[in-house]
Chain A
C-alpha cells in the first residue's frame, strides 16, 4: 500500500509490518491525515508481530502529524503490539517527539540511525 502526496509519501510494507513515512508532511487537520491513519491502522490489523515505523526520511511532521503518530503509538500500546521506531539523528523535530512517544509507550524501541 502506497500513498503519494504533495512532497511526501506513506507506505505500508506488509511482509515486514513496516510503516514508512518520508518527506515533508504539513497536512492541516486530522481529517486530512485520514488516509495515512487508515494505512497505519491496516498495519495494526494485519500484522501480528512487531510494528516498525521507519521515519528516517521524514524531514518534517507538523503538530497534527505528531498527534497522529502519538495516537498510533497509543494504539500499539493498547493492542499489545510491540513497536520499533527507526529515526534519524539528523532530523531536528524528531528529538522531542520521539521522547514523547517513548513516554506514551515505555516498551517502544527507538533505533537512531
Chain B
C-alpha cells in the first residue's frame, strides 16, 4: 500500500517536471520570437524611412538641377514653340521640387533639418526669381546678359544643392546611427534570447536534478526504512526467540524445581512415622507435627520402635530441594539400619557412621549440604540423647528444663571426622514427664515485624500446657507459633515432636 503511494508520487513528480520544462522553454521561445520580431520591424522601418528621405532629397536635387539645365536649354532653343515646351517642363520641375519637399517635411526629420529646409526656401526663392527673369527675357526674345544671370542663379542654387547634399549625408549618418542602434538592440535581443534559453535550460536541469535527487533520496529513504524494518524484524525475531528460550528455560527450571519439590515433599511425608506405629508404643504418648515451607526445607524426624527400644531422630538438612530430600532419606535409612538390632544401642557410634555416610555421599554429589541431627534412645524410663541440634526441652512438674546439645555433637556431613565432638546426655523420664524436640523453623518463625518466635515463647506455652496430652501440647504450640507469625509466610519447615511418658 505504502509502496503504491510512493510510486504514484514519483510518476506525478516526473510529469510535473516535464510540464515545467515545456512551460519554461515555451515561454522563453515566445518571448524571444516576439523580441526578435519587434527588432526586425524597427530595423525595417528605419531602413524604409532612411531610404525614402534619401530618395526625396535626391528628387529635390534633381528638380533643381533639371531647372538649371532647362534654363540653359530655354536660352539656347531657337524655336519659340520649343521654348514654350521647355518652360512648361521647367514649371513642372518646380512642382516636383515642392512636392518632394512637402513629402520630406512629413517624414520624421530632426529640428536642424527642418530649419535648413526652411532657410533654403528664401535662397531658392531668390534663385527662382533670377531664373524666372531669364526665362521671361528669353520668351520676350531679349538677350540682355542672361548668361550672367544664370551664373548668378547657379551660384545660389549650388548653395541649396550643397545643403541638400549635406542633409543627405547627415541623413545617411543618422540612418547609420539608427542602424547601429538597431543592430545593438538586435544583439541585445539575441543575448536576451541566449540568456532566456540558458535560463530555461538551467531551470529545466534544476527541475530534472531536483526530481531525480528527490526520487533517489526517497528511494534511499525507502530502502533505509525497509532495512530498518528488516533489522527490527530480525531483532524482534531474536528477542522473541530469546524470550521464548528464557520462558522455556524458566518454565523448564520451574517444572524441574516443582518436580523436585514434589519429590522432596513426598519423600519427607512418606518417611514420617504413621499414627498406628506411634500408638503401638504403649509406654510413651508421642505426637508429631511437620509442616513444610513453600520451598520445602530439609526437616526430618522419625520414631522407630524395636522391642523395648524407642529410637527418635530429629534433624534439619541445610537448604531445600531434591538434594536435601535425598540426604534426609539417607539419614533415615542409616538411622534405622544402625539402631534396629539386638545389640546395645550405640548413639554416638551411629552418629559417627551417619556422618561418614553423609560426608562421603555429599562429596560424591558435589554438594555443600550438611545437617544438624540428634538421636534419642528411650528404654524403660531411661532417655539418652546425642548429636548437636536444637535444645532438648524436658517438661517436668510444669517446668521446662533445657538441655543444650552443642557439646553433644557436630553438624553431620561438614567434616570427615567428628568423633572427638560426640557426647551423650542421659536422664530419667518419669511418668508424666514430657520430652520435646523441634527444629529451628519454630524458634525462628518471624512475626510480621520480623521478631523471632524464640525458645522462651515455646517454653512458656509448654509450661502452660504441661498437664495435657502430647497431641494437645502439639496443637497448643503450633497455634501459638501461627498466631505469632500472623500473615507471614512460612520461611522454613517446622517440626515438633512431643514424647510423654504415660
| Size class of the B contact interface (CB-based, 8 Å) | 20 to 34
In the complex, besides A29-B321, A62-B318, A100-B406, 15 extra interface pairs with C-beta distance below 8 angstroms are A24-B450, A28-B295, A30-B319, A30-B369, A60-B452, A62-B492, A63-B316, A67-B368, A67-B369, A67-B370, A68-B368, A70-B411, A74-B415, A100-B410, A103-B410
Type the 1/0 row for B408-434, where 1 means its CB is closer than 8 Å to any CB of A: 001100110000010000000000000
The binding surface of chain A is classed by DSSP as helix
Q: Is B440 an interface position by the 8 A CB rule?
A: yes
Expressed in whole angstroms, the minimum distance between the Cβ of B487 and any Cβ of chain A is 18
Find out whether the CB atom of A26 lies under 8 angstroms from the CB atom of B491: yes
B residues less than 8 Å from A104 (CB atoms): 414-415
The distance in angstroms between the C-alpha atoms of A93 and B492, with both chains bound, is 16
The distance in angstroms between the C-alpha atoms of A44 and B398, with both chains bound, is 51
> Given the interface contacts A64-B319, A95-B406, A104-B415, does A30 sit within 8 Å of B372 by beta carbon?
no
29 contacts between A and B (CB under 8 A): A24-B450, A26-B491, A28-B295, A28-B319, A28-B320, A29-B319, A29-B320, A30-B319, A30-B369, A60-B452, A62-B318, A62-B492, A63-B318, A63-B319, A63-B440, A64-B318, A64-B319, A66-B318, A66-B411, A67-B414, A68-B368, A71-B368, A74-B415, A92-B454, A95-B406, A96-B388, A96-B406, A99-B406, A100-B388
Q: Is B444 an interface position by the 8 A CB rule?
A: yes
A residues less than 8 Å from B184 (CB atoms): none
A residues less than 8 Å from B321 (CB atoms): 29
Find out whether the CB atom of B388 lies under 8 angstroms from the CB atom of A67: no
A residues less than 8 Å from B173 (CB atoms): none
Q: Is B367 an interface position by the 8 A CB rule?
A: yes
A residues less than 8 Å from B415 (CB atoms): 74, 104
The distance in angstroms between the C-alpha atoms of A99 and B410, with both chains bound, is 10
A interface size (C-beta, 8 A) = 22
The distance in angstroms between the C-alpha atoms of A106 and B372, with both chains bound, is 21
Type the 1/0 row for A49-66, where 1 means its CB is closer than 8 Å to any CB of B: 000000000001011101
Chain B residues 452-480 with CB under 8 Å of chain A are: 452, 454-455
A residues less than 8 Å from B450 (CB atoms): 24
Across the interface, B411 reaches (CB within 8 A) one of A30, A68, A92, A100, namely: A100
